[in-house]
Amino acid sequence: MTDINAAYDYCKQVIDQHSKTFSTAFALLPKEQKKAVWAIYTFCRRVDDIVDEGNHPERELYFFAEEFQLFTQGKLNSPHPGWVALSDVFEKFTIDPAPFQEMIQGQWMDLRPSTIENKNDLLTYCYHVASTVGLMLLPVIAPGKEKELRQGAVELGYAMQITNILRDIGEDLDRDRIYLPRQLLRRYHYSTKDLVEGTVNQAFVDLWEDLASDAETYYAKALSTLPEYPLYSRTPVKGAAYMYRAILTSVRENNYEVFNKRNYVTDQQKKQIIAEMQ
């Protein structure tokens, strides 16, 4: 059996490597909550990597879903540090397994994509792959407040995933994925051909800003719920939201070049954002 401290160390390495934003923001939490965030993030990262990098993603995702089913029944006998740490989290906090299962469903959406026709379709996808993360975290960072904070957590997930989509348009195209609603492409007279060719024109900017405006609205709605969080969670949640929202500014500063350039917020900018909030 993997030592519990070693399991959490593994999870910390995963979050440090794959999400400096979450790692930086949630480093401000008390120790037990911080460790729980590492473990929950690692669950999300593992399932996400199956879809993006797995050799046989359908088979691997099916196996992972089966493992989680056994995990929830207390029947999983796995030495994998991700499961060992998550088991500890489920023992220490009152965790609802439903959003974890919905996250797995979201990964099936990527493996068997259907056309995103309108914004409602987009939000359904965003809920499964991002809002679920917030719902997983609520029992850890705001115990007892899950019902009051549910909608805000869902909206923060919408905001962050729309931000991801607006940042990763080029990378997603390389994987044959298009998350921009077809309805918007038609409204702004921006064709799939334009998209594939990486055309950045006024139509693209207007389309991009339409979705960015939605993201900004969801950030604002989510941030309005901050007073409901325990004091120890407010700065981490606010920091994660502010650092993610800053990606939109980064794209604008790079003249909407999302096809051949990775837009990001620097470590120095992240530290500045956190410093300004304390």
Question: Residues 6 or more apart from 7 whose CB is under 8 A from it?
Answer: 39, 81, 82, 84, 85, 88
pTM of the model: 0.95
Nearest Cα to 159, choosing from 117, 210, 211?
A: 211
The CA-CA-CA angle for residues 54, 265, 21, to 5°, reads 60
Q: How far apart are CA 254 and CA 252, in angstroms?
A: 5
Residue 278 is predicted with a pLDDT of 61
Q: How far apart are CA 218 and CA 222, in angstroms?
A: 6
HSE of 9 in the Cβ direction (CA atoms, 13 Å)? 5
Residue 269 is predicted with a pLDDT of 83
pLDDT in tens, the chain (278 residues): 569 999 999 999 999 999 988 998 899 899 999 999 999 999 999 999 999 888 999 999 999 999 999 999 999 999 999 999 999 999 999 999 999 999 999 999 999 988 999 999 999 999 999 999 999 999 999 999 999 999 999 999 999 999 999 999 999 999 899 999 999 999 999 999 999 999 999 999 999 999 999 999 999 999 999 999 999 999 999 999 999 999 999 999 999 999 988 888 887 888 788 777 76
Dihedral, CA atoms, 25, 28, 31, 36, nearest 10 degrees?
Answer: -20
Structure tokens at 161: 């995933």
Give how far Cα 73 sits from Cα of 1, 67, 69, 92, Å: 18, 10, 7, 16
Q: Is the distance from CB of 32 to CB of 92 less than 8 angstroms?
A: yes
Residue 256 is predicted with a pLDDT of 97
Superfamily of domain covering 4-277: Farnesyl Diphosphate Synthase (1.10.600.10)
Nearest Cα to 182, choosing from 112, 111, 256, 122?
A: 122
Q: How far apart are CA 132 and CA 106, in angstroms?
A: 9
Q: Is the distance from CB of 256 to CB of 274 less than 8 angstroms?
A: no
